[in-house]
Chains A and B, each alone.
Chain A
Amino acid sequence: MDQLDKLKKEWQSREQELPKVSFNDIYKMLLKKSSSIVKWIFVISIAELLFWIGLHFLIPKENIELMSNMGVGDIMFYSNFIHYTIFAIFIYYFYRNYRSIQVTDNTKMLMRNILKTRKTVKYFVYYNVGMAILVSIVVDIYFYKNSNQLYEAMDFASKGVPQDNFANVFILSQIIVGVVIIGLLVVFYWLIYGILLKRLKGNYIELQKMGD
């Protein structure tokens, strides 16, 4: 196989033809980990959306009937529709951020994209938590104002629940449940996105040092 041995000889004498990557460029590649962090943000947001949509299928039929008996069925449907549309827009932005971070070689652009991603995630969290608070306040007020209708719709009379204090007790328990759920939501966001954003920030600082 002397042809292979000829190639071997040439192989060694042609090293100078190979491209050279500078110290800084290699260093930058290590910081490209940003791309995988942003990918996780994108993936988790999709998983989250699927989770919420999946949850809708688990809502008992009686609850849906109750909503339409209370006259809020349509409103619920449309507000959900709008909510998930906005959610999907955020996911689209996450994807765009991921793509742009993945393809950029330029430190400045990478830094700008990291900042942009952090901003998008923050808005996403604010939106979701804000929405959860707003919706529970609106629902609670509506139910409180129409407590008689609710009392009838849920057929509490036949279950022996007294009507006197019903509105107050109901609204109090609603508020407690609401606070707990929103609290859990905040903890969840703080844990998942908080960790990812912190890592992104670390990369950002490293990039900044490199630019100095």
Chain B
Amino acid sequence: MNKELEHSFVEQLEANQNIVHKICRLYTHDQDSHNDLFQEITIQLWRAFPKFRGDSKFSTWMYRVALNTAITLYRKSKRRIKTQDFESISFKIKSEEYDDTIELQLKLMYGAVKKLNDIDKALVFLYLEDKSYREISHTLGISEVNARVKMNRAKEKLRKILNP
């Protein structure tokens, strides 16, 4: 086992772990499955790490592998996750800092994003991460035009979820 490789991997993952946590939050509904998914993504990233040649940024590469893992794992356990525990959506904000209605809106929006299918969720996630359509298309392996079209449809779906 290559020790240096392991160290450099763990270091980079530690520095970029926010990406993985955000994906875990979107794709799971409780702390246990959050941790499970985090571990699964870590293992998949580590397996794929030898193929990471550094021609893209570590974080860009991470988005791709982590989302793929979340999507495939999510697909596998789709039947299991049926109920959505709305309260578990962790948007803990101190009430004095924010307007309650804005807070509620955000919560509803976040809940709506969580209700999207796995691919749309990935799209919206990258949008929230402030990625350009070029980056989104690159990460998800679709064309830029396709990414725009899909994103518009996802927004439409969100609208419908929020205003049924």
Please list the residues of chain A having a beta carbon within 8 angstroms of any beta carbon in chain B: 1, 3-4, 6-8, 10-12, 15, 17-23, 26-27, 29-30, 32-33, 202, 206
B105 and A26 within 8 A (CB): no
B18 to chain A, nearest CB (A): 5
Interface class of chain A by DSSP: helix
Q: Which of B74-82, B127-135, B137-145 contacts A (4 or more CB under 8 A)?
A: B127-135
Please list the residues of chain B having a beta carbon within 8 angstroms of any beta carbon in chain A: 1, 6, 10-11, 13-14, 17-18, 21-22, 25, 38-39, 42-43, 46, 90, 92, 102, 105-106, 109-110, 113, 124, 127-130, 155, 158-159, 162
A22 cross-chain contacts in B, Cβ below 8 A:
14
User: Given known contacts A3-B162, A26-B13, A30-B10, what 20 new A-B pairs fall within 8 Å (CB)?
Assistant: A4-B109, A4-B155, A6-B102, A6-B106, A7-B106, A7-B109, A8-B127, A11-B129, A12-B130, A17-B90, A18-B25, A21-B17, A23-B11, A26-B14, A26-B42, A29-B42, A30-B42, A32-B39, A33-B43, A202-B1
Closest to B90 in A: A17
Closest to A105 in B: B35
- Which residue from B21, B38, B130 sits with its C-beta under 8 Å from A8? B130
Closest 3 CB pairs of A and B: A18-B21, A11-B128, A29-B42
| Interchain CA distance A26-B40 in the complex, whole Å | 11
| Interchain CA distance A205-B99 in the complex, whole Å | 54
| Interchain CA distance A90-B130 in the complex, whole Å | 54
Q: List, sorted by A's number, 20 A–B pairs whose CB atoms are closer than 8 Å.
A: A3-B105, A4-B124, A4-B128, A6-B106, A6-B109, A7-B106, A7-B128, A11-B128, A17-B92, A18-B17, A18-B18, A18-B21, A22-B14, A29-B42, A30-B42, A30-B46, A32-B39, A32-B43, A202-B1, A206-B1
| Interchain CA distance A22-B13 in the complex, whole Å | 10
| Interchain CA distance A20-B46 in the complex, whole Å | 18
